[in-house]
Chains A and B, each alone.
Chain A
C-alpha cells in the first residue's frame, strides 16, 4: 500500500474548510499550520484571476526529512505515510532545513517538529483524513496509489499530462499530486511575496526558534 494525495486545483475554491478541519482534528496550535491554502492573484486589472493552492506535507518516497532526522522521529509507516513521533523528536530543526516544501514547523506548545501526517490516526481506523471529509467540492482525493482501482489512481489515469508534483527536480518523489497546477501555483519563486499587510492578513515571518 502506498497512500497518496491529489488536489484538483480546477475544483478548489479556496474556502479553507480543509485548513480548519485539519486544525481542529489535529489540535494544531495558533500560528502554525499542517495544511494551508495559499491565494495568489495573477494578472492586472481587469484581466485578473485568483488561484488557490492547498499546501501540505508531500509524504515523499525519498523524504529528506526522514533522512536527516537524527533520532528517527520522522519515520515511514507501512502505508507510505511519513509520520512523526513527537515524544522522540529533539527539536533540532534539521527536518525544517531539509524539507523543500516548507511543510514542517516547530509546534510552539510541545517544542517539537510537526507536520501533516495524512491524519494517520484516522487512516488507521479506516477513516479519510479530515481535510478530505471537509472539502465541499471533493478537490482533495486520497487513496492507495498501488491500487489501480482506487479513486486517486483512476483520477491520475484520467488526467495524464496534467498531473504535477512540486519541485520534481529535488528528487524527493512526492506522493502528493496536483491537477491543473502551474508555475504560479506550484513554484513559490514564481509569485511575489512581500512582507506586510496584504488582502486579508499580514504576510510575515515567525521567530520560530526563539533564539533571535
Chain B
C-alpha cells in the first residue's frame, strides 16, 4: 500500500512568555540575521518540551525531529500526555500553522476535526449551520445537499432543524456538529478527541461510524485520544509522543503497554533512602477484569529492620483509593536483613472497573518511614473479557464491576 502521509524531521519551536518589547527585540534581531542571509539565531537555543521543569530558555521545542509514515487505509492512533506535543502536531497536519523546520507531505483531500461545530453560528438554524459547517470543513454545497437527510438522521435532531442552534441543548449541538463531520468524505481524516462528548448512545454511534469510515470506506484516519479503550478499538498502530519526540511507533497493544509504563513514571517519590532502596515492580501490564491481581515489589535493604511492613494502595484514574492493603493487619512483620526484599501481593478477583490504576507504595519499620512513593507504578484492567458491551464498560461510573444479573418479571 502506498504512503499517504509522510512526516519528515518535523520540528516546531515556540517562544514562551508574553508578546511585548522583549519579543520585538528578538523579532528585529531575527530579521537582521535573515537580511544578512544568516540562520535564525533563536533556533539553536530551544529546550526540550517538558512542562514540569522550569527551563532557562525562552524558546522551547514543542516538537523535535518527528518522523513517521502512514499508509493508505491505516488508522493510526496518536497518544501522549498533556503537553507532549500532540496538539501541535495536529495543528501542523491540519494546516492551521506551519512547522519551524521539516515537512509533512499528504496525498488526497484532508479534513481535520479538532473540534466539533467549528464555525457554528448561534443565531442560525440547524439547517443553515449544517451547510455552513460542511463548507468550512471543505465540502461543496452540492455534496452537503446530497447528504443532508443522512446528516439530520444521524444527528437525531430532526425536530429542531429549523430552530437556531443557540436554543439547542449542548448534547444536541454536539450531535449535529459531529453528524456533519461524520459525512465528510476526505481521503485523510484527522480527529482529536471529539468522542469525549455526548451521551453513551451517541458515543457508541460515533465510534461505530469512525470504524466504518476506516474499515469499509478505506480512508486513512489519524486519531488522537486519551481514551485507551477507544484507541485500542480503532487503531492498528500508534505513535507515542513524549516531550516533543516520537517515543514509539508500532502496534497498538504493545504501544499502549509502553505508554502506560511511561504514564506511571510520573509518580512522586515522597520518601526515598539509600538504606532501603526501591528496586522493582513486577506485574503483568494488563489484567482481565475477573482475574486475580498479583504483583511483587522489590527493595534493596542495606540495614536490618526487625518490624518491616510494606503497604500499598491501588488508586483509580480519578485518584480514589479503591483498595488499601495494610499489611500489618494481614501478616506479621518481616525481619529484613541486608539484601533484596521481595513482597508479594495477591488480591483475589477484585472485580475492578476496567481502566488504568496506579499504585502508591509505603514501607516502614515500626514508626520510621523507609519509603513512600505515590502512584509510581501501575497496571491496566482491560475490558475485553467483559460482557461484550464496551460502551457499558466505558461509561461505568462505578468502582466495582462484579458479575451482575438483572431480570424482569411481570405479573
Do A and B originate from a single complex? no
